[in-house]
Chains A and B, each alone.
Chain A
Amino acid sequence: MDRNTALERVSEAAREALPVAERWLAELRRSADAGWSKLLGTDFEDRVAYLRERYASRGGDPFGLDADTAKVAALVCAVFHRAYFRTEVRGLEHVPPGRVLLVANHSGQLPIDAAIIGTSLFLDANPPRVMRAMVDRFTQRLPFVSTFFSRVGQVVGVRENARRLLEMDEVLLVFPEGVRGISKPITRRYQLEPFGLGFMRLALETDTPIVPVSVIGAEEQYISFGNLGWAARALRLPVLPLAPQLLIPGAQLPLPTKYRLEFGEPLRFDGDPDEDDQAIENKVWVVRQTIQAMLKRGLEQRDGVFF
């Protein structure tokens, strides 16, 4: 067989295969589009445009939120929110328009719970909201990380920033348990740690409604058996969980538990923000009990950790 006939045969085969390949490609693109719109909803671009408009009309966000970066972050988070954790969201209608303080239980070693709450407010709420949360000061020393947090609307955790965000009528997420909550070992799952008081003084000062949020599913994403306090101090980290998952190469992804978010009815408090701790503690206790009750109810209703 000479070379020419071989070439002819190949090109003939290619001609026949081309339409088939094209059909496949179109099919693939269609299913990818369907997948994306299932993941993001059909109105994703509208949501981005809505928020872009909101911040542009105020002369830009003073904290450095950038719609394009936030959009990419939302795309990535949407995969986790809709596909990986298959989040079930309830009570979003309880989030009032205007300033609001979301108070949630904190868990799961890595703050994925914050990302999922934020994604839910972006993709599921009507109109979409940008959740602002406060990041630890040490992140500001890290290149790229500090810029990234700023571009997706996260701010340095100081009181003045929190107050300013609420005055700008934003949604602010706080975890009053702080680092104690997120670094709990698996044995103390869904038991709330003591709450800090700062958020209540902030709410009283700025006259902001508090929406309690319960997050179920994050506790099981990383199984931790304890905290290596001395090692964390040596490495200057806030905590160092003893979680085997984080050490096995290639297994760093969280377990695909099913997330359940519930937004409770807004709580409103009156009073003097400078009252002594005892008076503030009584109000904080109400919020803590509300979240604990929501967690208890949610845990009773769920059938399994992964579905």
Chain B
Amino acid sequence: MTLTPQVSTERGGNGSASEGAPRLAVDGPVVITGICGRLGRRLARRLHRVRPVIGLDERPFPDRPKDIEHHQLDIRSNRARDVLRRRDVAAVVHLGVRHDPRPKSPEHHTSNLMGFQRLLDAVHQFGIGKLVLLSTANVYGPRPDNPQFLSEEAPLLGAGAFSDMRDLVELDMLTQSFFWKRPDIETVILRPSHIVGTVRNAPSNYLRLRRVPTLLGFDPMIQLVHQDDVVRAIELSLAPGVRGIFNVAGPPPVPLSQALALLGRATLPVPHSVAKLSVDRMWRWRITSFPAPDLDFIRYVCMVDDRRARQVLGYAPAYDLVQTLKSVDEERW
């Protein structure tokens, strides 16, 4: 029997020892952690037109729209907890996962997990009706024996080859157990494939390279999703009644070589053994921001089946392949 949270659009049973039934106001305030990232700002700009938005981030929010309330706080702090207690918060969107693979300090791991645990505690205690975690399809991991499209029930093996992925897998798992612990709180996990656009993440940075290294003899199918399609998926998951895990994908997959050709990038095919060794060295000497295990993403398939998101969320990508690809070169704001 699988214990993966299933989708349901009906409300779960009445929660256990909770302080009042969770609030599910459709137009209540939304707290966005990590709002100052590029994706967070895009989501905030979209949401603040329809409902109050409260930002929670250690970083400042430059040219913030006037009606967005921003708190420059660490989510582990008591003051961040006070923000969640105040103002009948109706939903929490957690974007505050540090995806940066290079640990800046020993705190990196703790801040990700402890911070999120505190957030979960607050959601639990204050009966906030909705929790959305932006996870990633990378938690499944690129593997030679992956089915072409992974369903939400696939095991999260991403950390096997790459231990720094552990944070993300653990966050995802924590959220899954929270899903079971509080069936009355609508918990949503979104697992988008490679997000591209003006965001600064590994896939976008890779596609932005002037001369793109590829692995000689490997040309896996890849799935990309436009940043604004992810923003829309988050928006859709805030609808009342939506709970469960959803893979999110963009336009139909293409071979990596074709994506690079559409972008007009020159490629540099390198044998895998050479690439592995040199990327490893360059990573250690801080010449590259790509860790060597990331090479598996351009070697094996790691694509998701987004049928559930299409059926239950009503999600469909609005950007086609060319628009999605070209978005990496757009002016950054």
Contact = CB atoms under 8 A, between A and B. Distances in A.
A64 interface: yes
Interface string B186-222: 0000000000000000000000000000011111110
Interface in B213-236: 215-221
Contact of A156 (B148, B151, B219, B254): B148
Contacts of A160: 147-149, 151
B301 to A, nearest CB: 8
A62 B219 CA distance: 13
A141 B145 CA distance: 9
B145 A140 contact: yes
A142 B300 CA distance: 11
A155 interface: yes
5 interchain residue pairs of minimum CB distance:
A143-B217, A160-B147, A140-B144, A144-B217, A137-B145
B300 A140 contact: yes
A217 B215 CA distance: 39
B221 A150 contact: yes
B147 A158 contact: yes
A197 to B, nearest CB: 20
B135 to A, nearest CB: 21
**Interface residues of B: mostly helix, strand, loop or mixed?**
loop
A143 B271 contact: yes
Given A143-B217, A147-B219, A161-B147, 13 more contacts: A60-B254, A62-B221, A62-B252, A64-B220, A64-B255, A143-B271, A143-B272, A146-B218, A147-B218, A150-B221, A155-B148, A159-B147, A160-B147
Interface residues of A, number: 24
Nearest to B300: A140
Nearest to A147: B219
Contacts of B221: 62-64, 150
B253 A62 contact: yes
A147 B253 CA distance: 15
Interface string A132-169: 00000110111111110010000110111100100000
A143 B215 contact: yes
| Most A-side CB within 10 Å, residue of B218, B255, B272 | B218
A55 B220 CA distance: 18
Contact of B148 (A60, A66, A142, A161): A161
A164 B252 contact: no
Contact of A141 (B144, B220, B255): B144
B163 interface: no
A249 interface: no
Nearest to B320: A59
29 contacts: A59-B252, A60-B252, A62-B148, A62-B149, A62-B253, A63-B221, A64-B219, A64-B220, A64-B255, A66-B255, A137-B145, A138-B144, A140-B145, A141-B144, A143-B216, A143-B217, A143-B218, A143-B272, A145-B217, A146-B144, A146-B217, A146-B220, A147-B219, A156-B144, A156-B147, A158-B147, A160-B147, A160-B149, A164-B148
A65 to B, nearest CB: 10
B6 interface: no
Contacts of B300: 140
A113 B134 CA distance: 47
Contacts of B288: none
B146 interface: yes
Contact of B145 (A63, A144, A158): A158
Nearest to A138: B144
A141 to B, nearest CB: 5
Contacts of A138: 144
Contacts of A146: 144, 217-218, 220
A141 B301 CA distance: 11
A159 B300 CA distance: 18
Contacts of A64: 219-221, 255
B147 to A, nearest CB: 4
A60 B148 CA distance: 14
A144 B253 CA distance: 20
Interface string A40-82: 0000000000000000000110111010000000000000000
The CB with the most chain B CB atoms within 10 A, among A59, A62, A138, A145, is that of: A62
A147 B145 CA distance: 14
Given A59-B252, A62-B252, A141-B144, A147 B217 contact: yes
A63 B253 CA distance: 9
Contacts of B149: 62, 160, 164
A172 to B, nearest CB: 14
Contacts of A66: 255
Interface string B93-106: 00000000000000
B146 A156 contact: yes
A52 B154 CA distance: 32
A149 to B, nearest CB: 11
Given A59-B252, A62-B149, A143-B272, A137 B144 contact: yes
B325 to A, nearest CB: 15
Interface in B248-263: 252-255
